[in-house]
Every structure is written in C-alpha cells, then in structure tokens.
Amino acid sequence: MQPSNVATVYKKELLETLRDRRTLISSILVPMLLFPVLILGISVLATLIVSRARKDNPTVMVLGSENAPELSRRLEKEKDMEVVPPAADYARRIDAKNLRAAVEFPAGVEQKARTVNTESQTVKIYWYEGEFRSEGVVRKIERVIREFNEETVKAALASRGFGPDFLKPFDVEQKNVASAERVTGNIVGMMLPYMVIILCLTGAMYPAIDLTAGEKERGTIETILASPVARSELVSGKFLLVLTVSLGTAALSLASFAITILGGATLLARISSKLVLAVSVKAMVAVFLLILPVAVLFAAALMAIALIARSYREAQTYLAPLMFVVIIPAVFSMMPGIELTPKLAMIPILNVSLVAKELFAGLYPWNYILLIFGSTAVYAGIAIYFAIRQFQREEVLFRT
C-alpha cells in the first residue's frame, strides 16, 4: 500500500465532501448549534414560561367552606391564587384546565381538629396530575393545611402543659459531601457523551453513504476502480475521509458545549444558584480519546453496510436501524443504578457513556478506561476488516 495513493484518494473525496450540503449541515452546522439551542435556548424558554405561569393567578374552588371557615379564610388570603365560588362541575372544569384545583372539607373537620378526637379526618384535593399550574396550586393548598395542622397540634399540647418539641424529639439534617462541580458534572456526564456519540454517528452517515452507494448511483464506481489505485488504498482513503468527518463532528460538538457553558454561565446561574457547571478540559480530552475508536467503528461499519445498497435511498434504509442500535445502549447508561462493571465495560457505546460520567465527576478509573479503549479498538478493527472485505467482493461493488 502506497501512502501517496491513499492521500490522493483522501484529498479527492474530501473535496467532493466539502461540496455536499447535507454533509456540511450534519457534521458542522448541527454540532455547532445543537448545544447552544439545547442549553441556552431551552433554559431561556423555560425561564420565560415559568415566570409567566407564576404571574397568572390560578383559580381554586373550595367545597364545604362552612366546615372549615378558618382554613377557607387562609386560602382566600393566599397570594397568587384566586378562590372561586363552589360548583358541581368542578371535575369537568379541572379537566378542561379552566380550574386548577378544588379542595373539599368534610363536615366538622375544623371543629374536630381542635378537640381530642381519634376519628380520621380526610381533606380531598382534586387536581390535574402532570399539569404545571395545577401542581403549583396543590403545593400551596397543602402548605396552608400543614401550617394549620401544626398550629392546632401546638395549641393542644400547650393546653396540656407540653412544649412544642414534645412530638419532635430530634431533627434530621442532610449534608451533601460532594462538591457542586461533581454533582453537576455527573449530570453532564450522562447527557453529553450520549449527544456526542449520536452526532458522531449522524455526521459520518452522509459521507459514508455518498462514498459507497452514492458512487454506484452516479455510475462512477467503475471509473474509480479502473484507476491505478489498489483496492486497499481506495478503501483506506475513503475510510479516512469518513473517519475525519466523524471525529470532526465529535470535536465540534465538544467545543460547542464548552463555549456554551462558558458563555452562558451567568444565565445558568440566574436560573439556579445551585447549578455550577465547570468545563474540565482534562475530562473533555479523555472523552474525545475514548470516542476515537468509536468513530473508527462507526466509519467502518457505515461504509460496509452502505456498500451493499444499490442507491443512496436504499443505503439510508439499511442504516436507519443502526441509529437505534446506538441510541439504546446510550440511553441505558442514563438509567438510575447502572454502574460501570467489567462486563458492561465490554459493551460498545454503553461503556463509553458510563465511564464518561466518572470522568466529568472528576474520577479516572484507569483500569476501566484502558479496558474500554482496548475493547472498542478491537471492535473497530473487526469493522475495518469487514469493510475491506466488502470492497474486494465484485458482487457487492457491482450490485445494481
């Protein structure tokens, strides 16, 4: 194999790839815009929606107000909440989102609460589960009822000579020993590798199809094969081009994430003071190095599968299921309780996603890192071998 011939094929394919609008959009434009839109755009939009929702006065209906006059009065005095007259169609109005919640006080509930009574009292709250404004109103109602219950219990204890701490012999205090950077780094480590791996696949997909099935569809595959270039040199040049696009997409997405975090730190701090996102250059480099054999695996597998197709559209059909093969293990890594083990370290895609959580949390399990890099490199080597074999099969190259 002559490196000069490989370089010639690479330069030729690179020039044609740079003229392909679909490849430029999927491998350059999308990675650069994805994280600013996801992190800053959605954060700003969520902030605006929440602030607007808080300005609206949600409506609440009190049923049986005569049974709990004090509680009803407190609900009416509650800010950012409007109490409306009772009606029989409260359930329909809640379902239609014209009413956010309704609270029903049973007969004698307030009077029995102030006396020694062993009978259970139940206050019912009707709401729209999963609806943001309805959930907010329910929290306010529960707070008012809880405060009333605490005051009633304290008054009953005081009348019998007991202090307010009689029912509360000790307090429980939670102390977080993990730094804010590690907590948020663990969150970032779940989402970022997943997005980068998906972009790495989609970025390489269009050039892989264009350099294989696209050549068949345009009728140029015969001309390339007739050139004084060996099959191994030809597949090497094409493979290196697809790998370049895949790695370029991964690098751009990581850079876009870092710039977005650094540029939007002030905005994210306004959204949540507890949210401290620190970009670790060491973790970013480590994740990129781990994605390197994954990109090799993607490039070789995409080319080998796309070469079977007769046309560009047929190749897209063959490669579409591969997206689910990549997404499923990446999503599985975000499930609670899934930790990195030697067995999981052998599963491609999943292993990189799991170890990335450790890296962004500031932990570097070198035994797992070496195992993951080595196993993924072996899978990538098998995929390269399969791709070269595909280019040597005449029935595959000239399948029309």
In a domain, residue 49? The reply is: no
Residues 226 and 289 in one domain: yes
Task: Please tell me whether residue 84 adopts helix, strand or coil conformation.
Answer: strand
In a domain, residue 323? The reply is: yes
- The predicted structure's pLDDT at residue 338: 78
In a domain, residue 351? The reply is: yes
Residues 284 and 346 in one domain: yes
CA atoms within 13 A on the CB side of 310: 2
Q: Provide the percentage of residues in the chain whose pLDDT is more than 90.
A: 7
User: Of 159, 194, 213, which one is at a domain's C-terminal end?
Assistant: 159
In a domain, residue 172? The reply is: no
Residues 152 and 221 in one domain: no
Residues 269 and 368 in one domain: yes
pLDDT at 214 over 90: no
Residues 347 and 252 in one domain: yes
φ, ψ of residue 82 in degrees (nearest 5): -115, 125
**Rounded mean pLDDT of 190-203?**
80
- The predicted structure's pLDDT at residue 269: 55
Torsion sign across C-alpha atoms 65, 66, 67, 69 = positive
Q: What domain count does the chain have?
A: 2
Using DSSP bridges, classify how beta strands 82-84 and 59-63 pair: parallel, antiparallel or unpaired.
parallel
Report which of 115, 125, 119, 135 is spatially closest to residue 63, judged by C-alpha positions. 125
Residues 281 and 143 in one domain: no
In a domain, residue 82? The reply is: yes
In a domain, residue 372? The reply is: yes
pLDDT at 81 over 70: yes
Residues 270 and 193 in one domain: yes
**Rounded mean pLDDT of 223-227?**
73
pLDDT at 109 over 80: yes
CB 309 within 8 A of CB 213: yes
| pLDDT top residue among 210 and 19 | 210
Q: Domain limits at 214?
A: 3-42+180-397
In a domain, residue 188? The reply is: yes
pLDDT at 271 over 60: no
- The predicted structure's pLDDT at residue 326: 81
In a domain, residue 171? The reply is: no
Q: What is the pLDDT of residues 153-178, one digit of tens each?
A: 788 777 777 766 666 667 777 776 66
| pLDDT top residue among 125 and 268 | 125
- Assign residue 142 the CATH number of its domain: 3.40.190.10
Residues 85 and 203 in one domain: no
User: Of 128, 159, 190, which one is at a domain's C-terminal end?
Assistant: 159
pLDDT at 188 over 90: no
End-to-end CA distance of the chain: 29
- The predicted structure's pLDDT at residue 3: 77
Residues 287 and 361 in one domain: yes
- The predicted structure's pLDDT at residue 316: 84
pLDDT at 268 over 60: no
Q: What is the value of pTM for the model shown?
A: 0.65
